[in-house]
A and B are shown apart, each in its own frame.
Chain A
Amino acid sequence: MPGAPLLGVEELTMRFGGLLAVDQLSFTAYAREITAIIGPNGAGKTTVFNCLTGFYRPSAGRLALHRQEGVLPLERMEGYRIARDGGVARTFQNIRLFAGMTVLENLIVAQHQPLMRASLYTFGGLLGLSGYRAAERAAVEKARYWLDRIALSDSADREAGTLPYGAQRRLEIARAMCTDPLLLCLDEPAAGLNPRESADLNQLLLAIRAQHGVGILLIEHDMNVVMGISDHIVVLDYGKKIADGAPAEIRSDPAVIKAYLGEPET
Chain B
Amino acid sequence: MASIAALEPLIPALRRYASAMLRDRDLADDLVQDCLERAIGQWDSRRQEENTRQWVFAIAHNLIANRLRQQARRGTHLDIADVAESALMVPAPQEHRVRHGELMAALAALPEEQRSVLLLVSVEDLSYAEAARALGIPIGTVMSRLSRGRERLQRALDGEVVTAPGGAATLRRMK
Real binding pair? no
Binding site for B on A (CB under 8 A): none
